[in-house]
Amino acid sequence: MEQIYTIPVNEAFENGMKNDVCECPLCKIYERLENKEVDYVLGPSMMEPSTRMETNEKGFCHDHFYMLLNKNNRLSLALILESHLDTVKEKLKGNFLDAIFGGKAKKTVKATDGILNTCFICEKIDFHFQRMIETVAYLYATESAFREKLKAQKFFCLPHYKEIIEYAKNKLDKKRFADFYKDISEVENSYLDKIKSDVSWFAKKFDYRYDSEPWYDAKDAPERAVKLLVGKE
């Protein structure tokens, strides 16, 4: 397995073992990939003709357009938008409303779907993230130290929990997968018990009978529950 992937995977899992950290290590990996790709688009990729052709054709999804906008590198974004809008205009072929209410509606809707359903950044992230998922399974199968890191995680968000289990089931041998599933499910079930208890206590604290009781770990329980269920914002 390439070191380019083993280093960030190990770093994310080591960080997840710290007492002051409560996050899914795979969410952290995804976040780092996302920030790297956003910076790349606004930086060196602007001068690469092949990349500019891809960004012109694919554009960006809602979330990544706003991430690019919020980086406040407006000149770079404007140059990207300038050529991307030329591509959009060519695909739509004329006035949008005329096409909708005229005979070209079907063609225009199809073209618009193509524009809205592609994202240069999403595709890059997905490619590298899959390599990260592969690396997690590989390291678990080959390194006892990494198995201990996995068992020491606080939790995995449900989307990534499902994804890593599906991948491991298809790639690991039966014995190793059984061990993997036991270890990761113990992490997840333990945290589910913990967060359920914290959410319940959070709700109780709004009852006057519990007003004088301490919050324990419940003050941010709703936020942590949402991170568990759907991943990082």
Residue-wise pLDDT tens digits, 187-212: 999 999 999 999 999 999 999 999 99
Q: How far is CA 119 from the centre of its chain?
A: 14
Per-residue pLDDT tens digits for 4-38: 899 999 999 999 999 888 999 999 999 999 999 99
Domain interval for residue 23 = 3-230
Q: How many structural domains does the chain have?
A: 1
Per-residue pLDDT tens digits for 37-59: 999 999 978 778 899 999 999 99
> Quick check: 46 and 79 in contact, CB under 8 A?
yes
**φ/ψ (deg, to 5) at 55:** -70, -35
pLDDT given for residue 24 in this prediction: 97
